[in-house]
Amino acid sequence: MMLSRAKNWLFLCCLLTGSAYAAEPDAKQWLERMTRALAEQNYEGFFFHVRDERSERMRIIHRVDKGNVSERLVSLDGSGREIIRNASEVICYLPDRRTVLVEKRSERSDATSLLGGLPAYSQSLEKLYEIEKVGGVVKTLGRKTQILSVQPRDQYRYGYRLWLDQETALPLKSQLCDRQGRVIEQILFSEVNLRERIAADDLKPAVNADGFTWLRQTTQPVVVASMTVGWTVIRLPAGFKLTERRVQAIAGSDVPVRHLVFSDGLATVSVFIEPRDMQAQPMRGLTRVGAAFAYSRDLEGHQITAVGEVPAATVEAIAAGVMRDDANDDAAASKPDQAASASSPPP
């Protein structure tokens, strides 16, 4: 049965090391199918988000209309938080903080919203992850599913175990795992409804945000070429490459923030760099948001924060590698007077 399979699988995981196995083509196809299914289908349902000893029930509504994807994610227990993504914005309703955050989405993600963030499969991805089917089709709780294992080959990224519906390729159950196969987080669907169409009204928030503080980007980010250079990250963990540089406004701040994105093809880490607010405490050290880690430090009058759904070691290593790029110095775009007064030697 599936359970003994799971044990065998765990056992196998212990035996297999990072030898250079190529992923089975079929396994890659499953992963690509799943990625497309997640983006392209109309569906709504309920899932349990399980981490540590907490389990939270969530509602998801995913709508594709004329190539535009919108999605609503609602916490049904506790906080009542909601996140609504559409082609132009990501809106977070945080009733427990009486706050609404509005993030403008980038041009880039507008252009690729339908298939946004499709991982690129390549030899280099296979160097970093072992992607394979686990066993044949198993009947998981009454439904035919294929178990897919995406196993990281080092400790700088997480892997996944995915139970993919044979017919739709939607992940009915997914586990985020560390390199040892220990489960960090699970998403378990209790119900998925595929629909021909989803009404636009279903994407409206249930939260009454009257009287909440709305944090928006008040300034359009000034996209000056010189602002996107001037910083670099050295000694990146294996496989991570710079995939995006942008200057963006962040809700609640009138200072443009540099945003560098690093990806290994599956996992991503963002680095945010902004001039430090000298009145506020600098942010330092490791923080956790769900299964994501953030690592902050201050450097030459700037606040550096690396964020990603990766192990703590990865955000820390990437944050530690941030440095001024003298070859492309953009001092004019920052505030050199502050930099002088606040520079602190790197640890």
Partner 1 sequence: MSDTVNEQLSACLDGELPEAELDLLLKRVARDQELGRTLGRFALTGEALRGAGAVRASASFADRVSAAIAAEESITPRRVSRINPSVMRWLRPAAGFAIAAGVATVAVLSVQTTPAPEPELVAQAPASVSSPVAANDSYVVPANTISNFVPATRLTNYVVAHSEYSSPLGMRTVLSGVLSEEDEAAEAAASSDSADASSSSATEAPRP
Residues 115-174 contacting partner 1, CB under 8 A? 116-119, 140-143, 154-156, 160, 162-163, 165, 167-168, 171-174
CB of 63 to partner 1, least distance (A): 14
Q: Which of 16, 65, 133, 195 binds partner 1 (CB under 8 A)?
A: 195
Among 7, 122, 204, 341, binds partner 1 (CB under 8 A): 7
Q: Which of 22, 199, 223, 312 binds partner 1 (CB under 8 A)?
A: 312
Selected range binding partner 1 among 21-29, 87-95, 224-232, 334-342, rule: CB under 8 A: 87-95
Q: Which of 30, 121, 129, 189 binds partner 1 (CB under 8 A)?
A: 189
Q: How many Å apart are CA 136 and CA 102, to the nearest integer?
A: 44
User: Rounded to whole angstroms, how far apart are CA atoms 21 and 78?
Assistant: 44
Q: Which range touches partner 1 (CB under 8 A), out of 22-30, 129-137, 272-280, 338-346?
A: 272-280
Closer residue to partner 1 in complex, CB, 25/211: 211
Site for partner 1 in 318-347 (CB under 8 A): 321
- Pick the binder of partner 1 from 68, 190, 220, 344 (CB under 8 A): 190
289-308 residues in contact with partner 1 (CB under 8 A) are 289-292, 294, 296, 305, 307-308
| Nearest residue to 221 via CA among 257, 251, 243, 249 | 249
Stretch of 22-30, 82-90, 223-231, 333-341 contacting partner 1, by CB under 8 A: 82-90
Q: Give the integer Cα–Cα distance in Å for 200 and 194.
A: 16
Report the residue from 247, 317, 319, 333 that binds partner 1 according to the rule CB under 8 A.
317
The least CB distance from residue 127 to partner 1, in Å, is 9
CB of 311 to partner 1, least distance (A): 5
Minimum distance of partner 1 from residue 136's CB (angstroms): 18
**Binding to partner 1 in span 210-239, by CB under 8 A:** 210, 212-218, 235-238
Contacting residue, 13, 23, 27, 58, with partner 1 by CB under 8 A: 58
Instruction: Using the CB atoms, write b or e for 113-146: b if 16+ within 10 Å.
Output: beeeeebebeeebbbbbbbbbbeeebebeeeebb
State whether residue 223 is helix, strand or coil. Answer: coil
> What's 204's DSSP letter?
S
Which region, judged by CB under 8 A, interacts with partner 1, from 69-77, 130-138, 222-230, 338-346? 69-77
The one-character DSSP state at 334 is S
What pairs with residue 48 in β-bridges? Answer: 57, 188
142: Cβ–Cβ under 8 A, 6 or more apart, which residues? none
Q: Which two tokens stand for residue 89?
A: 């914005």
Position 53 contacts partner 1 (CB under 8 A): yes
DSSP letters along 261-314, please? EEESSS-EEEEEEEE--TTSPPP-EEEEETTEEEEEEEETTEEEEEEESS-HHH
Question: By CB under 8 A, is residue 26 in contact with partner 1?
Answer: no
Does 12 interact with partner 1 (rule: CB under 8 A)? no
Q: Which of 114, 261, 323, 342 binds partner 1 (CB under 8 A)?
A: 261
Tell me, what DSSP letter sits at residue 255? Answer: S
Residue 28: which H helix or E strand, with range? helix 25-40
Q: Is 29 in the site for partner 1 (CB under 8 A)?
A: no
Closest CA to 186 of 156, 161, 168, 169: 161
Residue of 124, 232, 248, 338 interacting with partner 1 (CB under 8 A): 248
Residues in the chain: 347
Neighbours of 172 (CB within 10 A): 20
Which residue of 83, 203, 229, 339 would you call a contact of partner 1, by CB under 8 A?
83
Nearest distance in Å: CB 175, partner 1: 8
CB 65 within 8 A of CB 71: no
